Amino acid sequence: MDLKFDLLPQLFVNGVINGSAYAALGLSFALILRVAGRFHVAWAMIYTLAAYVAVVAAQDFGLPLVPAIILGLAAAALAGILTEWIVYRPLDARGGGLLGIFIASLGLIIVTENLIRLTWASQTLYRPLPGFPTELISLQDVTFTTLDLASVLTAWFLLVAVALFLKYAPHGRWINAVRVNPEMAQVVGISPDKVHLLVFVLGSVIAGVFAIYAAMKFAAVPDMGWQPLFLAFMVAFLSPRFTPLSLALTGIFVGLVESLSGIALTANWSPLVVFSVLLAYLIVLPIRLPRLAKLVRAWAG
């Protein structure tokens, strides 16, 4: 096996760049999963929608980049609210449970993805979002772009902002209260329904931001939401705690595992490496840490 250790600095930086985005995506998914309790697979739909609205606004309607981005994010927030309000909440009230929400979510993705394909069937489905002043930055053996730098800064800004919001802002504390005990939160006058809408807005906007970055870096494509969904899933579930810091570290870990596998393997093997880590985690999960600790203690005498 040919080990390419000379690529280590570049692969490490790539890992941090991607991992920062994964951390933010994980935060977006975890906010909805852990607070509203929705297994929101239609998160991929929100992601795709944000990118397409921004691209269409910029390309077809000639809007400058910033208004196009704002429009994309507004569309994501609105789609998030409508999904919770019109689809999930009534389903939950009827006892649809996790499976019902998962299925409805699946239906929404199928509709959105194929509507996009139908709408642009006569044009190219590959739609990049132009307008960002992308330049190369080279530091010794490492190269990245201004877009990468912006993406990392945005991810960390969002992670820190959400951490501060959850800790200090009244609405942030509402989110924590509903996450820990929705019944008790209701008793003290916090509406879980409103908090659910709030996390859908937050989660959708964060997802939208990185969808737009993806459209700027590569392009908007109808099935662009799947891969980030899988990564967001993974970060949200692998993170030992629901805190932006824990999610950030988990995201960086996933990004580094994916990227550093490039030392030994070609890029097409990286999903195998990442998902093998997930598989290993899920295999170990049933053993449970306290039991594992007990086994280790017993073994150590």
Partner 1 sequence: MEYQADLANQVLIFAILAFSLNLLLGYAGQVTIGHAAFAGVGGYAAAKLATAAGLGFAPALVAAVLTAAVVGLIVSVPALRLSLEHLILLTLAVSVVFVTLASSTSALGGAYGILNIPNPDLAGKRFDYPSEYFLLFLPLTILAFLIYWRFVESPFGRVLKAIREDELATRALGKNVFVYKMEAFAVASGLAGLAGAMLAFYTMLVAPAQFNVTQSMLIITMVIFGGMGNPTGPVLGAALLVLATPVLEKNLNIAAEKAGLVRMVVYGAALVLVVQLRPQGLIPERFSLMVVPRWLNRWKRPQTAAQSQAIGAAGNSEPSAALSFLDGYHGSSSSAQPGGRGNNDGTVLAVRGLKKRFGGIEAVAGVDFVLPAGRVTGLVGPNGAGKTTVFSLLTGVIPPDEGSVELRGKDVAGKTPDAIAKMGMVRSFQDVRIFARLTALENVMLATFGHPGETFLGLFTKPVAVRAAEREAKERALKWLSFVGLEGKADLLAGSLAFAEQKLVAIARLLATEADVLLLDEPITGIDPQWATRIGEVIHTLRQLGKTVCIVEHNLRALEQVADHCYFMESGRITAEGSLRDLMSEPRLVSAYFGT
Interacting residues toward partner 1 by CB under 8 A: 33, 39, 87, 90-91, 94, 96, 98-100, 102-104, 106-115, 117-118, 121, 223, 226, 230, 233-234, 237, 266, 268-269, 271-272, 275-276, 278-279, 282-283, 285-286
Residue 299 CB, nearest distance to partner 1 (Å)?
Answer: 18
The residues, any chain, with a CB within 8 Å of residue 137's CB and separated by 6 or more, are 143, 144, 145, 146, 149
- Residue placing its CB nearer to partner 1 in the complex, 94 or 188: 94
Residue 143 CB, nearest distance to partner 1 (Å)?
Answer: 26
- Residue placing its CB nearer to partner 1 in the complex, 212 or 254: 254
Residue 189 CB, nearest distance to partner 1 (Å)?
Answer: 26
Quickly tell me which residue has 């919770």 as its tokens: 84
Rounded-to-integer distance, Cα 171 and Cα 190, Å: 9
Residue 38 CB, nearest distance to partner 1 (Å)?
Answer: 11
* Cβ atoms < 10 Å from Cβ of 294: 11
Residue 112 CB, nearest distance to partner 1 (Å)?
Answer: 8
- Residue placing its CB nearer to partner 1 in the complex, 68 or 116: 116
| SS (HEC) of the chain | CCCCHHHHHHHHHHHHHHHHHHHHHHHHHHHHHHHHCCCCCCHHHHHHHHHHHHHHHHHCCCCCHHHHHHHHHHHHHHHHHHHHHHHHHHHHHCCCHHHHHHHHHHHHHHHHHHHHHHHCCCCCCCECCCCCCCCEEEECCEEEEHHHHHHHHHHHHHHHHHHHHHHHCHHHHHHHHHHHCHHHHHHCCCCHHHHHHHHHHHHHHHHHHHHHHHHHHCCECCCCCHHHHHHHHHHHHHCCCCCHHHHHHHHHHHHHHHHHHHHCCCHHHHHHHHHHHHHHHHHHHHHCHHHHHHHHHHHHC
- Residue placing its CB nearer to partner 1 in the complex, 113 or 148: 113
- Residue placing its CB nearer to partner 1 in the complex, 148 or 258: 258
The residues, any chain, with a CB within 8 Å of residue 170's CB and separated by 6 or more, are none
- Residue placing its CB nearer to partner 1 in the complex, 176 or 270: 270
Residue 9 CB, nearest distance to partner 1 (Å)?
Answer: 26
- Residue placing its CB nearer to partner 1 in the complex, 39 or 213: 39
- Residue placing its CB nearer to partner 1 in the complex, 110 or 149: 110
Residue 272 CB, nearest distance to partner 1 (Å)?
Answer: 4
Residue 138 CB, nearest distance to partner 1 (Å)?
Answer: 31
